[in-house]
Amino acid sequence: MKKTLTIFLSALVATATAQGQVSIQVHDDAENQPVIPAAIYGQFSEHLGRCIYEGIWVGPDSKIPNKDGYRTDVLKALKDLKIPVLRWPGGCFADEYHWMDGIGPRENRPKLVNNNWGSTIEDNSFGTHEFLNLCEMLGTQPYISGNVGSGTPEELAKWVEYMTAEEGTMAELRKKNGREKPWTVKYLGVGNESWGCGGDMTAQYYSDVYKRYALYARNYAGNRLFKIACGASEDDYEWTKTVMKNAGNRLDGLSLHYYTVPGWDCNKGSATQFGPEEYYNTLTRTAAVDEILAKHTAIMDAYDPDRRVALVLDEWGTWFEVEPGFNPGHLYQQNTMRDAMVAAINLNIFHKHTGRLKMANIAQVVNVLQAMVLTDKEKMVLTPTYHVFRMYAPHMDATYVPASCRCGKIHSSDGREMDDFSWSASRDAKGVLHVSLANPRLEKDVTVELSFDKMKVKSVSGELLRADRIDAYNDFGKAPEVTPVQFKDAKIVSKELPGSSKKKNCVTLTLPAASVVTLEIK
């Protein structure tokens, strides 16, 4: 059986380039390219499991080192990541959250049962002030997800007024609770997954509900809301069509959710115990987001040819089985080098779609699903996904640079295929080119040749992320198994053009199996 499986898995990648060679032509002279919005690197924080409580917030009286209740180790890690936007309070939780329960003296706030996630009892000690103050500390834009499922237009309208108005009844209440100046709140989600946990609505019905709620969410004190309507799950193109047709002129953004699940709900698989077949199934499923983004974009283009409305992928990432011994409703999973590959492939795809895609929020920032950070009491580890986000940071607000690639294909056992190499390039405000490359193949290193339409390369440096095993992860109290290192193997070479005495300037490198690199090229 084992021998048969090995032969089968070898066949999965048989269509890859024979010698493990990849040629990339970087079109660095291309004009009128979109800027990659920093918000593509957004994060998501829900009242789910230990994301907020124990993850971000421990309270000022905790023995765990904290600053005004925020864990100092997590706070530093998130500051270093330069998070551009943070979504809160959900998720499904948002449509049962009543914001007035989370303001005022903490000792007076009512407790609540988190009906969506494990029936956890929460004390509401982390509410509007705690979240918006956190965003200010991190230098990040808050993205508020409003309660449409069980709330009212009045409740959402008063929340917006409480957060952003300078004067009036709600502003006076905010001042009484210790915040004199209004906060700046740009992003407002009008409902979450309204087709499911957020109200079980049809697209037609939700379109009318959206217009009603959005109408009363007003702009105060120069604060202009960017209103995001609930969009589709995965490939539900009819939802996108209906909302764009009925409400497209009334919204600024339309959301989309797409999770990478190796099997489906009944077979998510382990986050840490998997073989090559599960690995390739996971990667081909994540690469399918390319087609999904393209098709939703095409529908939006039909109703909004000027691309005024943003596509917002405000939930994405891997979803595996909960780690043994943890509450099934808390969605706690470890994070391996496989997750790093998923992150890199997704980000490379997102960059291609930023003519329409203006924000993405990975789920979730701490202790939930594909997290950046994991905590265990006073201990904390940075995940492989965290390192990919930090390595890719130079792409934020940089101009997208298109490239063409000659590579092979990977075919997974569930009938999907993807390129057997992933890449993206951008140029920052100083003219420096950054190229991110991911080699998803387990069985071989890849020789890469980067050629340029115009650029004459003078220097190249980089950072590499890899591990000895694809299922390696960083664990508490142990030396990290997945951590970036300086990459010194990229070389500048000059090659003669076929049939010409002219030469072209190239960068060559060998990228190890199952690894990610970001190059800085000047």
3-state DSSP assignment of residue 238: helix
**How many Å from the N-terminal Cα to the C-terminal Cα in the chain?**
51
Angle value at C-alpha 257, between 367 and 441, nearest 5 degrees: 70
Q: Where are the alpha helices (DSSP H) in 217-318?
A: 237-247, 276-287, 289-303
Q: Which of 188, 196, 233 is nearest to 214 (CA)?
A: 188
Q: Which of 145, 135, 156, 37 is nearest to 86 (CA)?
A: 135
What is the 8-class DSSP label of residue 207?
Answer: H
Q: Which of 320, 369, 323, 327 is nearest to 114 (CA)?
A: 327
d(CA 225, CA 234): 26
CB 88 within 8 A of CB 45: yes
CB 330 within 8 A of CB 322: yes
CB 513 within 8 A of CB 445: yes
CB 445 within 8 A of CB 55: no
Three-state SS sequence of 212-230: HHHHHCCCECCECCEEEEE
463 classed as catalytic = no
AA identity, residue 298: A
496 classed as catalytic = no
d(CA 282, CA 138): 32
User: Among 193, 234, 277, 520, which one carries the catalytic annotation?
Assistant: 193
d(CA 47, CA 491): 47
> What contacts 417, CB < 8 A, 6 or more positions away?
284, 409, 410, 411
CB neighbourhood size of 27 (10 A): 15
AA identity, residue 344: A
Q: What is the dihedral sign for C-alpha 157, 161, 167, 171?
A: positive
Nearest 10 degrees: Cα torsion 280, 284, 285, 286: 100
User: Among 54, 96, 122, 315, which one carries the catalytic annotation?
Assistant: 315
Positions marked catalytic: 193, 315
